[in-house]
Chain A
Amino acid sequence: MTRLRAWFLAPTWTAQIALFLAPLAIILGYSLLTRGVYGGITPPWTAESYQRLIDPIYLAILWRSFWVAGASTALCLLLGFPLALFISRAERHKNFYLGLVMLPFWTSFLVRTYAWMFLLRDTGLLNTALQKIGLIHSPLPLLYNDGAVILGLVYGYLPFTVLPLYATLERLDRSLLEAAADLGAKPWTALTRITIPLSAPGIRAGAILVFIPCLGAYLTPDLLGGGKSVMIGNLIQNQFTTARDWPFGSAVSLVLMAIVMVLLFVIARGEGESLL
């Protein structure tokens, strides 16, 4: 059996090594080289790209990425928890409610991000409607700022908190809540002192599932933030296209990877690889 199994795993190993691990190794190498005159890379080997990251400009980008990702994660958890609670308490049609949450997620991230452009622009739906009602007289700058990016990220990743929260709430032993009621706890107390603490695994899982993609987001800050809300993802993309500074771009990428892996290690410790 082992020989057959080795054949079954071989193609994936090949794909992983050739198309994921080797490329990562290459940009590791690039991050330690120097920028060529016309872009690309040349020797000598240097750690200069990493040193440049200490610059306040880049630290500001790093900081913004953390705060945007953090705000998005917090909002996703806050907004997702009551929804997950609702679904887990529903008597019937739970799968329908869950499907209704997941459905938007699977229909093109690009389209969904564009939808918010359509709504938030100066001549977009929201501004037009508000002006028509007479609430405002000139368009509000709803787009091209951190807030719009956070809104777009929350919209995009909300399902990622609903699913793990729902899974944890589903497994919650109902008799614990009955015992709490029996001992005199009001519904709100039971929620805050029993349900929420016991949902910790789901909260942790949801937080990781949202924070990490948000940290490395590119499309959302690009479309909804314009040039005003530069995050790490935009910085990296910029280095590999306009700025043509591959060593620096590689360095930033690896720092991002390192942050992601540290976060995973710290938060997911003990969760195990529940996906695979």
Chain B
Amino acid sequence: MRRRGTALAIYAIAAYLFLHLPLLILSIFSFNASRFTVWEGFSLHWYSAALQDSQLTESALNSLIIAIAATAVSTVVGTLCAYGLWKRNSRPLAGSLYLSLVTPEIVTGISLLAFYQWIFRFLRVQLGMHTVILAHVSFSIAYVVIVVIARLRTVDATLEEAALDLGANEWQAFRYVTLPAILPGIIAAALLAFTVSFDDYVITSLVAGVNSETLPMVIYAIARRGVNPVVNAISALIVVGFGALVLVSERLQRA
């Protein structure tokens, strides 16, 4: 048994290396002075290039605005939905949310594009930041519902009954008893929605307008043309940034 334990441990190490090395290597080479995959010395050159590229910074700002707006809306809507479903399940709604989670992104994206184009016959609107934000709200809600409902399931259902018994009405029971208990879960869900929105490429690329390029779209365009160390630098920043957010989110969900 001991021998198998060691074999398993060795395998686990290899598996973890497989999962983490690519990103680590990418990050290390973001400090490479040369643009080739031969190490030629430590340099922050690519980071400063990235921060000075106006296309990159503008698109990053767009991504940030979209993510914040989409997160704010989807967190509120998703939390209310999770609470409603926790009280009593609605199979149609749960089914629809589940379906939206398993639908391939490309299908969601093109269907939204078709939907927008159809609407634009009646409204004089174009593709732009708002269409992207709406799209992001749409797919983020399901993630928020999952996280918040998981948190709600740890809450004692009789607590709200006790609140009603003591004179609070339904809204007050939610506000003063349940909401404080699930707040860490709500924040965790918001962080999750933020990372999902910031990172989205497929849907965004289809419904974004000309002036609403996001960071993933720019990265994609550069990567498409080949390897560029600037992308390494941005990638390293994104990995560290997201990693931190996710760690905080995990910690909160465990609180």
Q: What residues make up the interface of A, taking CB atoms closer than 8 Å to B?
A: 1, 4-9, 11-13, 15-16, 19-24, 26-27, 30, 40, 79, 82-83, 85-87, 89, 95, 97, 99-104, 106-112, 114-119, 121, 123-125, 128, 155, 158-159, 187, 212-213, 215-219, 223, 233, 236-237, 240, 246, 249-250, 253, 256-257, 260-261, 264, 273, 275-276
Contacts and interface: CB of A to CB of B under 8 A. Distances in A.
Interface string B209-247: 000000010011001101100011001001100110011
Interface of B: 1, 4-5, 8-9, 11-12, 15-16, 18-20, 22-23, 25-26, 29, 36-38, 76-78, 80-81, 83-85, 87-88, 90, 93-108, 110-115, 117-118, 134-135, 137-138, 141, 145-146, 149, 170-171, 174, 192, 195, 199, 201-202, 206, 216, 219-220, 223-224, 226-227, 231-232, 235, 238-239, 242-243, 246-247, 250, 254
A215 B81 contact: no
13 contacts: A1-B170, A16-B97, A19-B112, A20-B96, A86-B9, A86-B11, A89-B8, A103-B243, A187-B1, A216-B104, A219-B202, A233-B104, A253-B106
A112 B19 CA distance: 10
Contacts of B16: 100-101
Identify the 10 closest CB pairs spanning chains A and B, nearest first: A216-B104, A23-B111, A8-B84, A23-B115, A19-B138, A12-B81, A115-B22, A86-B12, A8-B80, A9-B84
A240 B108 CA distance: 13
Given A22-B115, A100-B19, A125-B37, 6 more contacts: A1-B170, A123-B36, A187-B4, A219-B202, A237-B206, A250-B110
Contact of B80 (A12, A40, A218, A275): A12
Nearest to A260: B102
Contacts, number: 243
Given A20-B138, A212-B102, A275-B98, A12 B93 contact: yes
B112 A23 contact: yes
Nearest to B249: A106
A219 B201 contact: yes
Contacts of A23: 108, 111-112, 114-115
A187 to B, nearest CB: 6
SS of B interface (majority): helix
A101 B108 CA distance: 28
A212 B104 contact: yes
A275 B101 contact: yes
A152 B138 CA distance: 27
Contacts of A11: 76-77, 80-81
Contact of B25 (A107, A119, A219, A276): A119
B223 A15 contact: no
A218 B105 contact: yes
B104 A79 contact: no
A119 B22 contact: yes
A111 B216 CA distance: 9
Given A30-B114, A215-B104, A276-B98, A110 B146 contact: no
A12 B247 CA distance: 28
Contacts of B26: 111, 114-115, 118
Contacts of B5: 89
Contacts of A16: 93, 96-97, 100, 138, 141
Given A1-B87, A16-B100, A99-B250, A9 B106 contact: no
Contact of A118 (B25, B103, B243): B25
Contacts of B141: 12, 15-16
B47 to A, nearest CB: 15
Contact of B107 (A22, A102, A155, A216): A216
Nearest to B83: A8
Q: Most chain-A Cβ atoms within 10 A of its Cβ — which of B1, B26, B206?
A: B26
Contacts of B94: 273, 276
A101 B19 CA distance: 7
A19 B202 CA distance: 16
B227 A124 contact: yes
